[in-house]
Structure formats: C-alpha cells, structure tokens
Structure 1
C-alpha cells in the first residue's frame, strides 16, 4: 500500500482547490479522490480528507469536548438546543472553524488521521466542517449512536451499516444531502433535522453553510437519507 499523498493547496472560496490529490485506501470509511462535503451551493468536485465513521459519540469518552459525558445519553431536543446556540458561528478567513479546531484536538481526529496515514490531525484544519459540526454536537451532548466523522459519505455509510439509516425525517436525525442525487455515494453535505414541515420541506440546522452555522428550510428532494441516533 502506498502512503497517502496530501496536496493541501490554498482554498478557493470555501473549498479546497480542485486538483488537490488525496490517495486513500483500506477499510470502511476510506475513499479515493472523493468530493468534499459542501454547503448549500451546488458542489464542485475536489479532494477531501476522509475519516472512518467507526467511532460513535462515546468513542472518545467526551474528555476533549469540555462537556461531561452522560451515560444516559441525550434526547433529540438536547441536540437541537445546542445546535441553536451555534447559529451564526462563522469560519475564519482561512476557512477554519472552531469545529475544525475541536476535531484536530480530539482523540477522534488523531485516530482518524492515523488511519488515513496523515502525520497529524492538523490535516483537518481548513477542511469542510459540516460533518465536524454534527460530530461536535454528538460529543458535547453525550448522544449515543450519533457517529463521528469528518466525511459525509462514510458517516452515512456507517448509519446504514448499523441499521439506522432511512427516509423518514425526524427531529434530531442527521440529514444527508446529495445535491445531484446518487444516494449515499452522492452525499455532499450534512445537518440536523429540526422539524418535518409535512409539505415536502424540512427545517434544519447545518454547519459550513455559507461559511457559517445556519438555520435552513430544505426541499426533501435533495435528501439522500437520514441517520438516526439512539436518543433516549
């Protein structure tokens, strides 16, 4: 197996420059020349740092999150409430956010960096952070079965593998978007469902949307599926 090659070129707008090369191989959650996890615009394809979804919300034991881990787990409303407190949080001029910093400093980030052959978790600096936001919510609420990832496709695959992936919008569900269709393999972006409006739209809270955490109303035709955490 050849060692991965990272060409962390200057970001163009809010994304890694097209043509950056990331060769990844191996087990579940790894990818090669995969599209980045985008925000609320039609995505251009670019390389993205992928991470395995194997660890769930309790895998790093909550120690690095600054929040006490709850053995009882969390409710959907716990996650939605925390997500609302982050609305308006922006990335900086380099495209980095507090969620990138958290992921880089977490044991989860270090573990996944090791899995992809990176020298350190700093490889996640400045990368698309919508899924890091979702992972942060899970870790900071002690949610069981949230999954924790930096790459939307492998996160969705993990939910499917664990039998908790479906097509019904529920409050607190992890919603995976595929702007151009294609099911799980076409997933570009991720957020949290706040409400099903029962009119073909859902209310969501999403990170890395226009470079910030925002509340959105999405058409369900853009949804590839939903991941269901083990809420109490």
Structure 2
C-alpha cells in the first residue's frame, strides 16, 4: 500500500464512531477554528472536510491532502495540483454532489476512500447519517471526482527537482558576464500553492526569455563601446579618502608592549 495511504488511514480509522456533540460541536471544527481559519463559526459548522483537514495534519500530510472546510474549494485545489481524477483508489479524497451533477460548484460532501471492491467504493466519512463518523459503501452515481494525494506528492517532487539554469560562456561573451557578475542564472521552481505547475514547455519559455535578455544586454554593451570591467564594489571617494589613498602605508602600532 502507498505510504501516504497508510499514514492517512492509520489516523482516520481510530476515529470511527465519533459523534458530534450538542449544538453541532465537534473537536475537528474546534481544531480548525483555532488552527487553520481563526473563527468560532467552524466549531459548529458541517465537518466532513474539516475532519479530513485534521487527519491530514495528524498524519503530517497537510501539504498533499489539503486543509479546507469548503468542499468545492478543496476540489479546485486538487485540480490546480494536477491531482484530479475520475477513477477511485485507496487514499483518494472523494467529492459528492447529492443532486447527481458533475460540476465542482455542486459538491456538498467529501470522504476518504479506504478501498475499491466490486464496483463500489468503501469510504470513511464524517458528518454522515446525521452526526456520525463512520464507514460507508457507495456506488459512483453521486461522485463528482477524486482528489489524489499521491499525485500531489508527485507534483511536489517534480517541482523540487526542477531548476532552470543558464550558464554564461566567457569565450563568446568576453568580459561582459564577469562585468555583470553573472556566471549562472538559476530560477527556482515556484511554490505549489500558487497553482502553476512547471512543465517542459514553461521551462523552455523561461529559458528562452533569459537567453534573450542576456543577448540584449550584450548588444547594448557593444553599442556603447568597450568599458573597463567592474571589479568589486565601486563607490565615489571623497577628497579625504583620495588623499589617504596616496599616503604610504604605516606600520601598525605595538599593542600591549613587547619584550624589554
């Protein structure tokens, strides 16, 4: 079994049988109100997705499972991570529309797939049958789609491994790369939270853009004529500094005395 699935189910299974308290209070809503979105309304709010947020936190998987109270937003997040699917699998977050629609905006319930067997999904769901956290066996007639934490992890691994590097060539651009202080240009992959995956196409576009920028800099330098290469920091000296620079170096004074 996938390690992500094991870790998540190991947290979820012991919670089976939990029942919400008077006034629709749940410990998962209380945790969400104090940890994720600081507002007391969550203590007594529908808690199917807040339970999954809590479980993800306990399993150390918040980054790949997501933490939401509003189920449509959670589904959109999975889409942004290229981790949305029409096929169930253990560990998937399943999104339902009780009206039978297939649009994200119609989602009104969420659960966690424990296993798939004989065309049925076996799930663990919170806030079902009124107030319970329990196992359910369902067909897919009300399913809008599935969010796959393992795909989010794969996406994060790809982002972490992606670097775009352009190396200046001192032979073809004599002096200019040194003058600009550019030996290599590295663009780190962006955070996955912005929802813009790095692909070979976007990497090639960024690489081409940086190459064009360096070519324009070279052209401007050539039009302006040769210049002395910059070395270190350059600051305009005052008159006193210029005079001090012309003075011969002095031997340092003895500190603390020497042998008699």
> What residue is the counterpart of 2:47 in the other structure?
129
Unaligned stretches of 5+ residues in structure 1: 1-72, 111-120
Greater share of residues in helix:
2
Q: Show structure 2 runs of 5+ residues with no match.
A: 155-260
Residue 189 in 1 paired to residue 109 in 2? yes
How do 1:94-133 and structure 2 match up within 5 A? 94-106=23-35, 108-110=36-38, 121-133=39-51
CA distance in 2, matches of 1:97, 1:193: 22
**RMSD value, Cα:** 1.7
Give matches, 1:12-91, under 5 Å: 75-91=4-20
**SS of equivalent to 1:191:** strand
Task: Check if 1:207 corresponds to 2:126.
Answer: yes
**TM score, norm. by length of structure 2:** 0.54
The count of aligned residue pairs is 148
Residue 125 of structure 1 and its aligned partner are, at CA, apart by: 2.0
Is this contact kept in 2: 1:103–1:109, CA < 8 A?
Answer: yes
Asked if 1 retains the 8 angstrom alpha-carbon contact of 2:96 and 2:143, the reply is: yes
Q: Deviations for 1:196-215, whole angstroms, at most 9, x for unmatched residues? A: 1142x100000111211100
Distance 1:198 1:228 in 2: 21
Q: TM-score if structure 1 supplies the norm length?
A: 0.61
Say whether the 8 Å CA contact 1:74–1:142 is kept in structure 2.
no
Alignment check: 8 A CA contact 2:84 2:146 kept: yes
Deviation of 1:221 after TM superposition, in Å, equals: 1.2
Larger radius of gyration: 2
The list of structure 1 runs, each at least 4 consecutive aligned residues, that deviate by more than 4 angstroms after superposition, is none
Deviations 1:154-189 (A, max 9, x none): 111111122111111111110001111232111110
